[in-house]
């Protein structure tokens, strides 16, 4: 409690300040002097410049003016107030009871500050606190202590200090503690203990200077040494899992006790020392193995981690492209892999597509890089991939290929089209595809017309109507041939003579659509030649002015044969039928005799006789026995032939495409390209009239859809100059002028 004189002073001061405030609540005072003046008022409300007082009955207006006297503090007020404050602060610091109420202590401070003594009071309080903090922190500056004991004591001291701050509510306590505290590095032992100490540093605003800088330096040294050691010792997948573990641990430290302001710098430090610094080693040492072994989980982790560093994703994409080109080149370049090339490419592409989807999250850069890589290596071997893709399609669309259902076939064709898009020599594909398609259509080898037309529509969508016009023409010819044959059968029914036993079906083809076949003048037996003449007469009567050229190399027929065990129906080619018919007149013939009688080319007749005498269905017997047909061999009709089936198909021995035939096909493609180049040059020159050599080449490269060399273009330009389609400018040999 205050002395009576001091209480009277503060009562008078309260009246003086009352008029200067917006409003104030007055309670009935407990001291003497002012009690009689205010005993009638329970509260005062602000109204304009005055106050409204209220009793229990009628409200009255009361105006209070400033007092005209200036109170004087007792001479010993400052000393006595400071003694009470000092005693209270020391009691708080030493966790002892306080004799004076907190309200009275706050009032002392307020009174001292109101009378110009604030600076002196602050100085005295600061000195008192400095003395206590220096004494508290001093215990940590002596001889070396156990780290755990040190941190626990420090935490206890800080917790006690924070409690004192709460009691006093003075910022000076924190400022003084910050001046006297010295951080001491220690190992992580107790998360709650570390968290408490670090919160202390944050509150003292010395977290960065006293802890973070040193902590980051130690972290960088730790992971720098660890990265250099482990990246060489561990396999890449194990190293990546270790790096992931380290990042997880650091995030847990941030979650449990480090300040959030350290997050970017800490995580960046781990990423830099464990990933960025060893990026090339990680990719060079481990990526190819992970891709080769299709280790999806490890590849996903690699992508996730490397995306955290600046160039990680780009470097990973680049290294993946290198692997694809290197691995793909091995498949394409090696001639020994020609038979399996396309299937290996399909499997390789499917595998990489899955990796890009599952591991690299369908990232656009990886998708584009994969496409570019395939296009790069698949065209390093000119023409061959296009040829092998066409033959692969042929093998899948042939009859007898029962390994794929219709839906599976559709998916397979879609995958093949992906490879087709990568090849530059699409005209090479067209040439081989057209030749194989012709055989499938004419010999009835096509597995499904729907699959054939589906493939055709895919090619049309990819390359345009011009690319598939000849292929579509082949299908139209087959449809027209069915109509012609129906009409021919009606014609035969009206003109059939007694003894006719041949059922003739003819496919009429337009030479512009179909491959060019050599014309072979084979000897047709008279009773068969008669039906050719009948069809010639019928066809010319319907289509005047057209000429038919008979092509027997792709024909087939059914022969009825009589053996000792009974009759059979033999499904054979025209060449096989001609050879077998020769045995109607005699039982034994030599190779030369058969060749002379049929006029079949030497290679063809050897393959034909091999299929009849050395295959599964041996309707002829070769003398002497053997797999190959040699000069001087004799052939005898095998009357002892037996087979459980009535209808027997004797397959022709498929001669492997010789180098000469492949070159012939490639040569036809080459000739077509020459025509296209010539047409493009003339088209450009006709439009531009005059053009520089380099500009002409640029225009040609933009227009031509197949790969071509500048030397090839130069030859075609020279050829057109020689044929007077264009000429060199008289003043500049590098300039060309169009000749109208």
CATH tag for 77-205 (out of 1.20.1600.10, 1.20.1310.10, 1.10.10.410, 3.30.70.370) = 1.20.1310.10
Number of other residues whose CB lies within 10 A of the CB of residue 426 = 19
Give the tokens for residue 519. Answer: 């014309």
The residue with tokens 């020459």 is 674
pLDDT lower than 70: segments of the chain: 1-73, 93, 95, 102, 134-190, 399-404, 496-501, 654-664, 666, 740
In 3-state terms, what secondary structure has residue 292? helix
Task: Give CA–CA dist 542/337, Å, rounded.
Answer: 52
Question: Could you tell me if 704 and 676 are in contact, meaning their C-beta atoms sit under 8 angstroms apart?
Answer: yes
What does each C-alpha distance from 183 to 24, 137, 146, 208, 730 come to in angstroms? 49, 11, 15, 11, 91
CATH placement of domain 279-381: 1.20.1310.10
- Model pLDDT, residue 164: 56
> Is 254 buried (19+), middle (13-18) or exposed (0-12) by CB count in 10 A?
middle
Q: Could you state, in order of their start, the residue ranges of all structural domains in the chain?
A: 4-62, 77-205, 279-381, 556-649, 661-738
Phi/psi of residue 649, each to 5°? -100, 120
In 3-state terms, what secondary structure has residue 319? helix
Total residues belonging to the chain: 740
Question: Could you tell me if 551 and 515 are in contact, meaning their C-beta atoms sit under 8 angstroms apart?
Answer: no
- Model pLDDT, residue 165: 55
Number of other residues whose CB lies within 10 A of the CB of residue 735 = 16
Give the tokens for residue 322. Answer: 């290198």
- Give me the DSSP letters along 447-509: S-HHHHHHHHHHHHHHH-HHHHHHHHHHHHHHHHHHHHHHHHHHHHHHH--TT----------
- Model pLDDT, residue 284: 94
Number of other residues whose CB lies within 10 A of the CB of residue 647 = 10
Task: Give CA–CA dist 555/284, Å, rounded.
Answer: 59
Q: Residue 600: which of 665, 553, 550 has the closest Cα?
A: 553
Q: Residue 7: which of 100, 111, 121, 109 has the closest Cα?
A: 111
The neighbouring-strand residues paired with 726 are 738
In 3-state terms, what secondary structure has residue 652? coil
Task: Give CA–CA dist 61/180, Å, rounded.
Answer: 58
DSSP, res 74: -
- Bridge-based pairing of strands 566-573 and 647-649 is parallel
- Model pLDDT, residue 427: 86
Question: Could you tell me if 257 and 195 are in contact, meaning their C-beta atoms sit under 8 angstroms apart?
Answer: yes
**What CATH fold (topology level) applies to the domain 661-738?**
Arc Repressor Mutant, subunit A (1.10.10)
CATH placement of domain 556-649: 3.30.230.130
Cis omega before residue 228 (within 30°)? no
328's CB contacts (< 8 A; 6+ apart) are 345, 348, 373, 374, 377, 378
CATH fold match for the domains 77-205 and 279-381: yes
């Amino acid at each position: 409690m205050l002395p009576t004189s001091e209480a009277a002073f503060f009562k008078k001061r309260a009246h003086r300040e009352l008029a200067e405030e917006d409003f104030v609540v007055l309670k009935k005072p407990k001291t003497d002097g002012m009690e009689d003046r205010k005993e009638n008022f329970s509260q005062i409300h602000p109204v304009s410049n005055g106050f409204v007082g209220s009793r229990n009955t009628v409200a009255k207006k009361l105006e209070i003016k400033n007092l005209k006297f200036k109170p004087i503090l007792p001479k010993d007020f400052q000393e006595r107030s400071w003694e009470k404050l000092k005693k209270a602060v020391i009691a708080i610091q030493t966790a002892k009871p306080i004799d004076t109420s907190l309200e009275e202590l706050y009032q002392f401070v307020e009174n001292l500050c109101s009378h110009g003594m604030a600076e002196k009071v602050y100085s005295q309080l600061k000195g008192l606190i400095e003395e206590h903090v220096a004494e508290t922190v001093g215990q940590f500056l002596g001889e070396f202590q156990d780290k755990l004991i040190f941190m626990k004591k420090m935490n206890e001291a800080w917790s006690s200090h924070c409690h004192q701050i709460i009691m006093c509510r003075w910022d000076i306590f924190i400022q003084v503690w910050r001046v006297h505290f010295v951080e001491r590095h220690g190992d992580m032992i107790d998360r709650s203990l570390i968290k408490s100490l670090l919160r202390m540093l944050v509150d003292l605003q010395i977290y960065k200077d006293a802890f973070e800088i040193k902590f980051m330096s130690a972290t960088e040294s730790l992971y720098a040494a660890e990265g250099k050691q482990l990246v060489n010792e561990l396999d890449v997948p194990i190293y990546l899992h270790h790096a992931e573990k380290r990042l997880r641990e650091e995030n847990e430290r941030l979650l449990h006790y480090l300040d959030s302001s350290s997050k970017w710098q800490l995580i960046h430090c781990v990423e830099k020392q464990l990933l960025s610094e060893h990026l090339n080693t990680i990719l060079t040492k481990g990526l190819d193995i992970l891709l080769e072994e299709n280790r999806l989980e490890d590849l996903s982790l690699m992508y996730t981690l490397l995306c955290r560093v600046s160039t990680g994703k780009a470097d990973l994409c680049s290294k993946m492209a290198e692997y694809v080109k290197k691995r793909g080149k091995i498949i394409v370049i090696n001639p020994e892999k020609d038979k399996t090339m396309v299937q290996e490419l399909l499997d390789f592409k499917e595998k990489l597509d899955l990796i890009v989807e599952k591991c690299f999250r369908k990232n656009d850069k990886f998708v584009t890089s994969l496409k570019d890589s395939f296009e790069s290596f698949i065209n390093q071997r000119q023409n061959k991939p296009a040829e092998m893709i066409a033959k692969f399609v042929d093998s899948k669309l042939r009859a007898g290929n029962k390994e794929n259902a219709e839906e599976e076939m559709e998916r397979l064709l879609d995958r093949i089209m992906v490879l087709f898009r990568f090849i530059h020599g699409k005209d090479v594909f067209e040439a081989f595809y057209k030749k194989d398609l012709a055989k499938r259509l004419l010999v009835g080898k096509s597995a499904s017309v729907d699959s054939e037309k589906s493939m055709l529509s895919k090619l049309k969508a990819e390359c345009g109507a011009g690319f598939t016009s000849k292929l579509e023409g082949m299908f139209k010819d087959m449809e027209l041939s069915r109509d012609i044959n129906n009409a021919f059968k009606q014609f035969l029914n009206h003109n059939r003579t007694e003894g006719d036993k041949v059922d003739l079906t003819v496919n009429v083809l337009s030479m512009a659509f179909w491959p060019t076949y050599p014309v072979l003048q084979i000897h047709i037996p008279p009773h068969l030649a008669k039906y050719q003449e009948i069809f010639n007469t019928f066809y010319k009567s319907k289509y005047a002015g057209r000429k038919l050229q008979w092509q027997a190399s792709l024909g087939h027929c059914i022969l009825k044969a009589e053996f000792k065990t009974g009759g059979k129906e033999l499904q054979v080619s025209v060449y096989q039928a001609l050879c077998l018919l020769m045995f109607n007149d005699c039982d034994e013939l030599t190779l030369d005799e058969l060749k002379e009688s049929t006029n079949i080319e030497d290679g063809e007749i050897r393959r034909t006789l091999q299929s009849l005498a050395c295959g599964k269905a041996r309707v002829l017997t070769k003398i002497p026995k053997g797999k190959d047909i040699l000069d001087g061999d004799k052939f005898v009709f095998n009357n002892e032939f037996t087979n459980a089936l009535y209808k027997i198909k004797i397959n022709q021995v498929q001669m492997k495409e010789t180098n000469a035939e492949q070159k012939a096909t490639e040569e036809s493609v080459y000739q077509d390209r020459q025509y296209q180049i010539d047409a493009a040059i003339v088209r450009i020159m006709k439009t531009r009239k005059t053009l520089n050599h380099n500009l002409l080449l640029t225009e040609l490269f933009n227009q031509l859809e197949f790969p071509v060399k500048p030397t090839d273009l130069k030859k075609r330009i020279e050829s057109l100059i020689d044929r007077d389609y264009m000429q060199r400018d008289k003043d500049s040999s590098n300039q060309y002028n169009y000749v109208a």
